[in-house]
Structure 1
Amino acid sequence: MVELKRTPLYEEHQAAKAKLIDFGGWEMPVQYSGVIEEHHAVRKNAGLFDVSHMGEVDVRGKDALAFVQRLITNDVAKLEDGKILYSPMCYPDGGIVDDLLVYRHSPDHFLLVVNASNTDKDFAWMLEQVQNFEVVVENISDQYAQLALQGPQAEKILQQLTNTDLSALKYYTFTYGEIEGVKSLISRTGYTGEDGFEIYVSPQFGRQLWRKILETGSAEGIQPIGLGARDTLRFEARLPLYGNELGAAITPMEAGLGIFVKLDKEDFVGKDALVKQKEQGIPRKLVGLEMIGRGIARSHYPLQKDGQEIGFVTSGSYSPTLDKNIALGLVRADLAVLGQELDVMIRGKAVQAKVIPSLFYKRS
């Protein structure tokens, strides 16, 4: 049996009696008190996530900017120091290697944050792309513990632990500061649809910060949050997950990420294929679905119209915020029309659903 990797916070999850599962080779908490309770805690108050399994790749050197520009579909040339960019990273055929966050320290220094289960694959792909660029690309994932503090009370809680003025930290920017005397990279980012912060620290300080943030936020109703609620939260906010909405056989255009694909910039990996797809017409589109019949549409369930297969469910679950069963599905473009009715095949049985706007939740 393959031994699962553990984050520096593993003992904290054990102590909290979290239910632990195998997530992409990592032993991670799926829930503490329960998915629905944890979901509501983040929407109403605040939640603390262990995301130390995420991958971090450091890019430095004279050609760092040009290298990252070639690697991703978004335009990093417009990014200023201290700011963050979201982007897909594609194969030459337009399929998605991964989606990632790009942190710009300077024109010759970037930090790329990638999905945990893709870290080794992404790093190998990046090394292949180095070619003639004068850059040093290093996987520094083991140099960080990463905590995500999310929810309407996140700023109030974290501000009690740092002298850094968090109100001055805008969305998708980052800074260095001290939290409880621990040197931290603090970014105003997250994966829940709520305001919040992602905090990067040396692994030896992870547990100390975890405990301190939970203790400080207790009056504001903070809870530790597992992967179960992380999934329902990101899904309601239409934030894609690799292996569901994104993959090697799905392009950013099909996944509804066209806004992050800058076809007018100079060359990048996958550009020719994506230009061609846009010219010829995008064959599939990601849509929101609401279940009319009884049942939950799960990832990879087939979608049918009049008995013909027309796509598949990418993510689906009960939505705690909306109190209904919803899903995202990749369907034939001509059927991606609001109000369109189709069938979700649940264990071989056709269950009716209809197409609705796919941004199920947006914070006020």
Structure 2
Amino acid sequence: MASETGSTDASLIESPLHDRHVALGAKFAGFGGWSMPVEYPAGTVKEHNAVRESVGVFDVSHLGKVMVTGPGAAAQVNARLSNDLGKIEPGKAQYTLCLNEEGGIVDDLIAYYASDEKVLLVPNAANSAEVARRVAEGAPGGVEVTDLHRDYAVLAVQGRESDRVLEEIGLPVGHDYMTFVEADFEGTGVVVCRSGYTGERGYELIVANEAAGALWDRILEAGAEVGILPCGLGSRDTLRTEMGYPLHGQDLSVDVNPVEAGLSWAVGWKKDAFPGREAVLKVKEEGPKRRLRGLVATGRGIPRPGMGVTLVADVPLADITSGTFSPTLRKGIGMALLPTMVNPDAEVGVDIRGRREIFQLVPFPFVDTSVRES
């Protein structure tokens, strides 16, 4: 639950940018054990629209940071995670999954492949220590797995004007999607990756805590001319939902496998071994019993996680995993793990506070930003 401006639960970890958020009037909420800004005075819809139309900046320092180093570091990562790191070259980033032996998704994360002896992993906040533990299992001598969760900040600059903003402060821009560059900001190293969770062109910046405040300030200053807004996790959620990007803890969990989640592309099927390989291979061969689907309201209903989804004939199917109001479409949108026997373009009902609202099943993404992302 969001707290009042400036207040926070003492048990939660504060971002290194917490004082900046308080000064900007942010409202906070607990997320993965961290106190993070949900929205600023402009509000979630305006923050969302700033990213879709111009540029916004997010503090996502709650994301984990796990460094794997030493001879054989890349091979160790490749043996413990689902995707095939051998498909990419140093200087590229890869979306991948940490699976258990049953094929359930422990977490989804990004691997930054710097060299055969250095890979940086960025998992979700609540799972950082567990990912570090699993990656370290069976590591040969000389390979070190270090949890740096509280040593680095992560800033996401997202939107079509992101290049202009970062270029203004002297950071490299224009590199290909899912590639990264190690740069310098006022004497401190910064990893600048062409990635993000919004569907818009953008960058994610990983920087040591002590330089995070100055970097945040410079980004807001440089973006003032194009209407940059600081953005909270509320707009991050509406933006990622419009793209059909799953969120661990809602759409993904240890009870969901990659095939069900539509993430088969993040599995290195030709790799000899990784945790969960046999289980997910069996699901792939037999076909999943359910799939993550998108739903769009035909009326004014706004779905929320936990609301029941039924066939129009009142046959229970599943619960909404993610649901929100789409500021871009001006409609309610949602995601649910529905039985594969349901026609992919069927209409379904969603129980919204005791009233059944009709939703149309649609493919992801809900919003097409492909032209802007290139």
> Which range, TM-score by smaller chain?
over 0.9
Distance 1:146 1:231 in 2: 17
Q: Tell me, yes or no, if structure 1 residue 313 matches structure 2 residue 330.
A: no
Question: In 2, distance between residues paired with 1:108 and 1:87?
Answer: 19
Q: Does residue 18 of structure 1 match 2:26?
A: yes
Aligned to 1:268: 274
Would the aligned equivalents of 1:289 and 1:358 in 2 still touch at CA under 8 Å?
no
Within 2, Cα distance between the matches of 1:314 and 1:228? 16
Aligned to 2:57: 48
Q: Is the 8 A contact 1:287 1:336 kept in 2?
A: no
Gaps of 5+ in 1: none
What is the deviation of 1:308?
Answer: 2.4
Which residue is 1:135 aligned to? 143
Q: Of 215, 226, 231, which residue of structure 2 is paired with 1:220?
A: 226
Displacement, 1:134?
A: 4.9
CA-to-aligned-CA distance 1:39-72 (integer Å, 9 cap, x gap): 0000111101111111010111222222111211
**Residues 86-109 of structure 1: per-residue CA shift (max 9 Å, x gap):** 011111111101001011111121
Distance 1:264 1:22 in 2: 40
In the alignment, residue 261 of structure 1 is paired with which amino acid? V
Match of 1:356 among 340, 344, 362: 362
Deviation at 1:80, TM superposition (A): 0.6
Rounded to whole Å, the distance in 1 between the matches of 2:66 and 2:15 is 17
Q: Give the CA deviation at 1:261.
A: 1.3
Separation in 1, partners of 2:242, 2:299: 20
Q: Deviations over 1:158-216 (max 9, x none)?
A: 10111x5412x111111111234442111111111011111111111111111111011
Cα 1:200–1:165 change in 2 (3 A) is closer
Q: Given the alignment, which residue of 13, 20, 25 partners 1:5?
A: 13
Query: What one-letter code is carried by the residue in structure 1 that aligns with 2:101?
Result: P
Structure 2 CA distance for aligned equivalents of residues 297 and 18 of structure 1 = 25
SS at match of 1:112: strand
Shift of residue 313 of structure 1? Answer: 1.2
- Tell me the alpha carbon deviations over residues 211-256 of structure 1, each in whole angstroms, 9 at most, x when there is no partner: 1110111001101000000000111111111011111100111111
- Equivalent in the alignment of 1:113: 122
Instruction: Please state if 1:230 is matched with 2:236.
Output: yes
- Partners of 2:152 and 2:10 in 1: how far apart? 23
Deviates more, 1:257-266 or 1:230-239: 257-266
Q: Which moved more, 1:95-104 or 1:2-11?
A: 2-11
2:167 is aligned, of 149, 159, 174, to 159
Q: Identify if the C-alpha distance between structure 1 residues 210 and 165 changes in structure 2 by more than 3 Å, giving closer, same or farther.
A: closer
Trace 1:284-295 onto structure 2 (pairs within 5 A): 284-295=290-301
Query: Percent sequence identity over matched residues?
Result: 39
Q: Map residues 130-279 of structure 1 onto 2, 5 A cutoff.
A: 130=138, 132=140, 134-162=142-170, 164-167=171-174, 169-279=175-285
Deviation digits for residues 320-340 of structure 1 (CA, Å, limit 9, x no counterpart)? 0111111111100010411x0
Shift of residue 78 of structure 1? 1.9
1: CA distance, partners of 2:178 / 2:141: 27
1:237-293 CA-partner distances (Å, limit 9, x unpaired) = 111110111111001111111111122221111110011111111110111111124
The answer to whether the 8 Å contact 2:37/2:233 transfers is yes
Which residue of the partner structure matches residue 48 of structure 2?
39
Query: Which letter maps to 1:91?
Result: N
CA separation of 1:132 and 1:200: change in aligned 2, threshold 3 A: closer
How many aligned residue pairs are there? 360
- Determine the C-alpha separation between the residues in 2 that align with 1:166 and 1:23: 30
Q: Does 1:70 align with 2:79?
A: yes
Distance 1:100 1:17 in 2: 30
What's the secondary structure of 2:275's corresponding residue? coil
| 8 Å CA contact retained: 2:98, 2:131 | no
Q: Stretches of 4+ moved more than 6 A in 1?
A: none
Query: Structure 1 183/63 Cα, relative in aligned 2: closer, same or farther at 3 Å?
Result: closer
Q: Which residue of 2 aligns with 1:328?
A: 335
1:346 deviates by 2.2
Name the amino acid aligned to 1:269.
Answer: P
Kept in 1: contact 2:55–2:229 (CA 8 A) = yes
Q: Using a 3 Å threshold, how does the CA distance of structure 1 residues 43 and 204 change in structure 2: closer, same or farther?
A: same
The structural deviation recorded for 1:132 is 4.9
What is the match of residue 132 of structure 2? 123
Return the letter of the residue paired with 2:104.
G
Query: Are 1:285 and 1:336, in contact at CA under 8 Å, matched by a contact in 2?
Result: no
Amino acid at match of 2:102: D
Report if aligned partners of 1:161, 1:180 keep a CA contact under 8 Å in 2.
no
Residues 190, 196 of structure 1: 8 Å contact kept? yes
1:27 is the counterpart of 2:43: no
CA distance in 1, matches of 2:248, 2:217: 30
Give the gaps of 5 or more residues in structure 2.
1-8
Q: Decide whether the 8 Å contact of 1:303 with 1:309 is kept in 2.
A: yes
Give the Cα separation in 2 of the matches to 1:359 and 1:318: 15
1:303 Cα deviation (Å)? 1.3
Q: CA RMSD in A?
A: 1.6
Cα distance in structure 2, aligned partners of 1:112 and 1:79: 15
Q: Could you tell me how far 1:351 is from its partner in structure 2? A: 2.2
Distance 2:25 2:73 in 1: 44
